[in-house]
């Protein structure tokens, strides 16, 4: 079993990933922020701790800001000090306020890039030397169908498009060091997360009631569906897979109908 760091692993989809990896026997270090962030309902760490306890497993839960190099380094030092190595990273932390180029203020645009793109860079940069020293490992970056472009998500789409490009570049750069880098995209149109519900003002019922394309399973995707794909990409079963995208849910990369303007 591997030692894995999960950014934004304390709530929502990240929480699902943390719990599933811990349930499978991985040593997981999950971190996030206790206070709610823009466009998200994520708050505190009690939820992830309760779910871990209910699943009969444990994980290290830390408070840290993925956009802070010092915080990221502190998480890495904690992980190496406690477990001796790092073999996997899941770059999940993200924020996703809605808006067009015209309606997104410059500070918000910068914050989205800081968390979603710079955070992935900082975490990967801090963990890679340990993974290389250990003989290889796996990085899974959580993308979004918005990374191929979606309406009213200009800054978020730009950040998630960057994640795809960054992941492919990293896959090339670290191929011979046996570090695999892949992207998992949550889809299904109705996947419940702190971010998706946050866009509905925290009203989970309103979010769930909206029309959703669902998945081939006949239902919207769940956090566990995404976590299962992440677990596969981290595992030795995916030892030959790098530089690819797994779309967990509907075929977001193929686009879809443009919704009418309100």
Residues annotated as catalytic are 156
Measuring CA to CA, how many Å separate 105 from each of 6, 112, 156?
A: 29, 11, 13
Q: Is 141 helix (H, G, I), strand (E, B) or coil?
A: strand
Q: Where does residue 83 rank: exposed (0-12), middle (13-18), buried (19+ CB within 10 A)? A: middle
Given a contact cutoff of 8 angstroms between Cβ atoms, the answer to whether 78 and 62 are in contact is: yes
Alpha-carbon torsion, ordered 218, 196, 154, 146, to 10 deg: -30
22/49 Cα distance (integer angstroms): 12
What is the DSSP-derived secondary structure letter of residue 253?
A: G
**128, 120 in Cβ contact below 8 A?**
no
Q: Is there a contact between 116 and 40 (Cβ–Cβ < 8 Å)?
A: no
Find out whether 23 and 15 touch, Cβ atoms under 8 Å. no
- Alpha carbons within 13 angstroms on the beta-carbon side of residue 177 total 18
């Amino acid at each position: 079993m591997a030692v894995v760091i999960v950014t934004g692993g304390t709530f929502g989809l990240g929480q699902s990933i943390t719990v599933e990896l811990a349930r499978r026997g991985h040593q997981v270090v999950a971190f996030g922020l206790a206070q709610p962030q823009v466009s998200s309902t994520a708050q505190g760490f009690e939820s992830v701790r309760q779910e871990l306890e209910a699943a009969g497993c444990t994980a290290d839960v830390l408070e840290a800001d993925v956009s802070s190099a010092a915080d990221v380094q502190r998480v890495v030092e904690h992980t190496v000090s406690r477990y001796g190595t790092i073999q996997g990273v899941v770059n999940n932390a993200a924020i996703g306020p809605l808006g067009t180029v015209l309606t997104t203020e410059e500070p918000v645009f910068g914050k989205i890039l800081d968390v979603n793109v710079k955070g992935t860079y900082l975490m990967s940069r801090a963990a890679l030397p340990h993974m290389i020293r250990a003989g290889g490992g796996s990085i899974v970056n959580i993308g979004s169908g918005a990374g191929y472009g979606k309406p009213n998500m200009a800054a978020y789409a730009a950040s998630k498009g960057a994640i795809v490009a960054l992941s492919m570049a990293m896959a090339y750069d670290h191929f011979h060091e046996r570090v695999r880098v892949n992207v998992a995209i949550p889809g299904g149109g109705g996947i419940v997360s702190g971010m998706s519900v946050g866009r509905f003002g925290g009203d989970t019922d309103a979010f769930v009631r909206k029309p959703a394309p669902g998945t081939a399973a006949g239902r919207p995707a769940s956090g566990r569906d995404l976590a299962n794909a992440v677990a596969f990409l981290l595992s030795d079963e995916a030892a030959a897979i790098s530089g690819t995208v797994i779309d967990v849910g509907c075929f977001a990369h193929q686009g879809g109908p443009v919704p009418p303007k309100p």
